[in-house]
Structure 1
């Protein structure tokens, strides 16, 4: 009679690896279970999913304790530099593409509805109101730009009384909240007329860097990424019965369209800003003297609420 000899092929190293993996999995399971009692099911889903992804990241890259400390210091510095005029956490979300991905998830395609893009850190409540054809520049330096268009629903019907918030940087790349004298410039709000039309004078958009003197800028520098944003003009449009739209328009021909630091460019939002020579009559008869100017058209289509 012969007997099969069973040989144990495991090694101490393999045993240790299995034990290490078991400990890591057990810890993740324990943290997940700690949220089981959450009464809000959505909160429970968010926190448990975050835990799974965060633990998986730590295990995948074999995060060191020094790296963990560096991350904590980075987030602490991000909090310290954030105040009522600067939101470094939004900037951090922007440069990771998290802002754009959230926007993409939450603004599903609806016919020809205008695409949304990042909100950015420079929106300010209670911007002054202007009438149609008014000027948002407020003395900010830059080339005058005539902006006009309509606001309609996806059915093509005009939307009268839609509120349009607009804001932009000056030709030096600064928003008014970055000025030191507290003046308001480069921002305003207005309402569409009974046919859904709007128009205003702004500034021809120019490229500028996102704030890069803080932790987010240090991260970009460490990874060889540029802080530059493609030239753009911000819009936020609200109207009863319609989904709020936060978007920009971009300048066709800008060399930064393919490398915008916050991934905000959509092809459908790239517009022609047509240069006008000095002396060219303006749409509203405004006298600009010998100054050249530009003009563009942006027709906005709002999706219905709940879409």
Structure 2
């Protein structure tokens, strides 16, 4: 490995890997090294630019903690998250499309009965959400585990808010429930609003330098898990939002857009007498059967 130069270094790096290493790891690293080296040669990367890139990644690491994942934001805003999602979740035409997971899912969300209020004091106009979960053949899926989460009207998720004094963030506009025997579900939350992704860190500075905005169109996050079916991670987007065609993380799909219907004061779907206007949204999910391996 002596006298390596710009023409021979790529092969030298590839040759340094032990033949006994994991074959998939070898495939990934081989392609990564080849593409990185080609990229550097193609743009004739300067030492100053290389150092700036290292500093950018270092800052992303420093700002990442248990409430903020800057590397997911970076992946999302470069379209990488959506590309990986699309490659790994190809579905039949009539199945609900998957989209990006996002950085604000948390384990341990509270469980609720169907029809419950999951807002838990989150700021926003009242909204009643309903739908049905079915298989590709139209069969209702009962007992499906439904995780749902969203931001409040100020554009913040509960994990971005200050703690409730107990040392952990209070769960708001987030919860877990299960579909009924007919595959149906319903809950009360708040109106979905557009919001900017966190842009006070290195990813935000990158977007600004590129002349891009940090906004996401209004949406609800869903993760649906049911035996015999592929797990579905997706959003439901609010029709009419001005950012539907310029989502900062490239997650919008036309099949995931639906109407949020505004209602005058009156009786809500759960029988509650509402003294102010409220919204309803209904969306049905179609799950893809899981592959059966012999």
- TM interval, shorter chain, is over 0.9
Give distance in 2, aligned partners of 1:91 and 1:285.
40
Counterparts of 1:193-208 in structure 2 under 5 Å? 193-208=180-195
1:261 correspondence with 2:248: yes
What TM-score do you get using the length of structure 1 for normalisation?
0.90
CA distance in 2, matches of 1:305, 1:56: 39
**CA RMSD across the alignment:** 1.3
Asked if 1:24 is matched to 2:11, the reply is no
Structure 1 runs of 4+ with >6 Å offset: none
1:272 aligns with 2:259: yes
The size of the alignment, in residue pairs, is: 284
Q: Larger helix proportion, structure 1 or 2? A: 1
Q: Hey, what does 1:288 align to over in structure 2?
A: 274
Structure 2: give runs of 5+ residues left out of the alignment: 164-168
Secondary structure, in 3 states, of the residue corresponding to 1:118? coil
1:35 partnered with 2:20 = no
Question: Is contact 1:153-1:301 (8 Å) kept?
Answer: yes
* d(CA) in 1 for partners of 2:127, 2:30: 49
Instruction: Report the secondary structure of 1:152's partner residue.
Output: strand
> 1:287, CA displacement in angstroms?
2.4
Q: Could you give the per-residue CA deviations for residues 163-210 of structure 1, whole angstroms, max 9, x where no partner exists?
A: 000000000101001111321101000000111110111111101100
Provide the rounded CA distance (Å) in 2 between the counterparts of 1:82 and 1:199. 34
Task: Report if the CA contact (8 A) 1:35-1:47 is conserved.
Answer: no
Instruction: Say yes or no: does 1:148 pair with 2:134.
Output: no
Query: Equivalent residue for 1:211?
Result: 198
**Is the CA contact (8 Å cut-off) linking 1:210 and 1:228 kept in structure 2?**
yes
3-state SS, counterpart of residue 65 of structure 2: coil
* Counterparts of 1:126 and 1:259, CA distance in 2: 32
Distance between the aligned counterparts of 2:25 and 2:146, measured in 1?
33
Give the structure with higher Rg (CA): 1
Matched residue, 2:143: 161
Q: Residue 236 of structure 2: which of 249, 253, 261 is its match?
A: 249
Whole-Å Cα distance in 2 between the matches of residues 39 and 242 of structure 1?
A: 34
- Aligned equivalents of 2:97, 2:15: Cα separation in 1: 39
1:184 matched to 2:171? The reply is: yes
Q: Determine the structure 1 residue equivalent to 2:166.
A: none
- Residue equivalent to 2:75: 93
Instruction: Please list the CA deviations of residues 79-100 of structure 1 after superposition, one character each: whole Å capped at 9, or x if unmatched.
Output: 0000111111100000000000
**Map of 1:231 onto structure 2:** 218
Work out the CA distance in 1 between the residues paired with 2:28 and 2:291.
22
Structure 1 runs not aligned, ≥5 long: 1-21
User: What TM-score does the superposition give when structure 2 sets the normalisation length?
Assistant: 0.94
- Give the direction of change, closer, same or farther, for the CA distance of 1:24–1:208 in structure 2 (3 Å limit): same
**8 Å Cα contact 1:146/1:201 also seen in 2:** yes
Q: Match of 2:90?
A: 108
